[in-house]
């Protein structure tokens, strides 16, 4: 059996209509999985690119995925949906705090919990959380995002500790600076864009496809002995 194959597995990818989520969904379909592309916007484009079906899922209610995993068998969960809000910390609003924490952290935990309640009795499952460089670094003007992504890294390790012996692999990917909607504002500022580029050892910003095959690996049997890891896919940024 090919240890990198996802044939026979069903994967749910959140925020799969665009960016990193779309690339992950398409790559998992390419590796043989039946992919459910989930999100608040239509994932029709992702289905056209290879995902099997789309599902409406809006994490403005962090408990939105509670009933999903009891209804059908899902073997792989990719918690990718995420938002970012930028403002000086001294001016940062409660709404920008709550909205980001709800989608990036509270929804991630309770979706992992719902998935595990269905998958633990089967003794098999893979969870891949999308963390960030700001799981390790402070960043600037993104307090709720940094808090949420530090939280995602911590939760990934905690859940791995609880579930590894019961057949669930919980890991995370920390993408570097990737060209998606999430980084529009940074790329629109020529000084910030150049300053970031100059610090990336690979000498280029990342593309969503740079993340996708790491997610396939973490979903496949090849990574069965990887638990609680946060894998940087960042062109060397954190090595600098
Ligand atoms: P993106 O293009 O903005 O994608 C974010 C995805 O999350 C979109 O599909 C978005 O849907 C979805 N989403 C947002 N709020 C949602 C909600 N309430 N319910 C359901 N889905 C929701 O940015 P991206 O870069 O691909 O981001 C994907 C993940 O990577 C995020 O967790 C982000 O924090 C993380 N990340 C990105 C970078 C980077 O450099 N780009 C670096 C580190 C980590 P809509 O299109 O409908 O808004």
Is residue 40 in contact with ligand 1, taking CB distance under 6 Å? yes
Q: Are strands 125-130 and 230-233 parallel, antiparallel or unpaired?
A: unpaired
pLDDT for res 125 = 98
Encode pLDDT of 47-104 as tens digits.
999 999 999 999 999 999 999 999 999 999 999 999 999 999 999 999 999 999 999 9
Confidence class of residue 3 from pLDDT cuts 50, 70 and 90?
A: very high
pLDDT for res 166 = 98
Ligand 1 centroid–CA 179 distance in Å is 12
Supply the pTM of this predicted model. 0.98
Contact 186, 140 (CB under 8 A): no
Encode pLDDT of 98-132 as tens digits.
999 999 999 999 999 999 999 999 999 999 999 99
Average pLDDT, integer, range 143-153: 99
Encode pLDDT of 199-215 as tens digits.
999 999 999 999 999 99
pLDDT for res 60 = 95
Residue spans per domain, the chain: 10-233
- Beta-carbon contacts of 89 under 8 Å, excluding residues fewer than 6 positions away, are 141, 143
* Ligand 1 nearest atom to the CA of residue 79, by list position: 32
Cα–Cα distance list, 63 to 38, 120, 142, 196, 224 (Å):
14, 19, 24, 36, 28
pLDDT for res 22 = 98
Mean pLDDT, the chain, whole residue set? 98
* Ligand 1 nearest atom to the CA of residue 16, by list position: 9
pLDDT for res 92 = 98
Is residue 235 in contact with ligand 1, taking CB distance under 6 Å? no
Confidence class of residue 44 from pLDDT cuts 50, 70 and 90?
A: very high
Active-site annotation holder among 59, 69, 136, 145: 145
* Residue identifier of the C-alpha nearest atom 32 of ligand 1: 82
CATH architecture of the domain with range 10-233: 3-Layer(aba) Sandwich (3.40)
1 has a pLDDT exceeding 90: no
Ligand 1 centroid–CA 68 distance in Å is 20
Ligand 1 centroid–CA 79 distance in Å is 10
Is residue 151 in contact with ligand 1, taking CB distance under 6 Å? no
Concerning whether 145 is annotated as a catalytic residue, the answer is yes
Is residue 19 in contact with ligand 1, taking CB distance under 6 Å? yes
Ligand 1 centroid–CA 15 distance in Å is 6
Is residue 39 in contact with ligand 1, taking CB distance under 6 Å? yes
Give strand ranges (E) for 46-91: 53-56, 76-79
């Amino acid at each position: 059996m090919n240890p990198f194959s996802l044939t026979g597995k069903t994967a749910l990818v959140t925020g799969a209509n665009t960016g990193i989520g779309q690339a992950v969904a398409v790559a998992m379909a390419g590796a043989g999985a039946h992919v459910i592309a989930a999100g608040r916007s239509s994932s029709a484009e992702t289905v056209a690119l290879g995902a099997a079906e789309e599902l409406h899922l809006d994490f403005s209610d962090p408990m939105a995925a509670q009933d999903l995993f009891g209804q059908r068998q899902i073997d792989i969960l990719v918690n990718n949906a995420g938002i970012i809000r930028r403002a000086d910390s001294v001016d940062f609003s409660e709404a920008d705090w709550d909205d980001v924490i709800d989608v990036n952290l509270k929804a991630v935990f309770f979706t992992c919990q719902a998935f595990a309640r269905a998958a633990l009795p089967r003794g098999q499952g893979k969870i891949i959380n999308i963390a960030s460089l700001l799981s390790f670094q402070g960043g600037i003007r993104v307090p709720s995002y940094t808090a949420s992504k530090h939280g995602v890294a911590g939760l990934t390790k905690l859940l791995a500790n609880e579930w590894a012996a019961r057949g669930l692999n919980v890991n995370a990917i920390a993408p570097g600076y990737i060209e998606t909607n999430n980084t529009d504002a940074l790329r629109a500022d020529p000084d910030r864009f150049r300053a970031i580029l100059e610090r990336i050892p690979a000498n280029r910003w990342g593309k969503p496809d740079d993340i996708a095959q790491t997610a396939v690996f973490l979903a496949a049997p090849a990574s069965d002995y990887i638990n609680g890891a946060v894998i940087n896919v960042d062109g060397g940024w954190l090595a600098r």
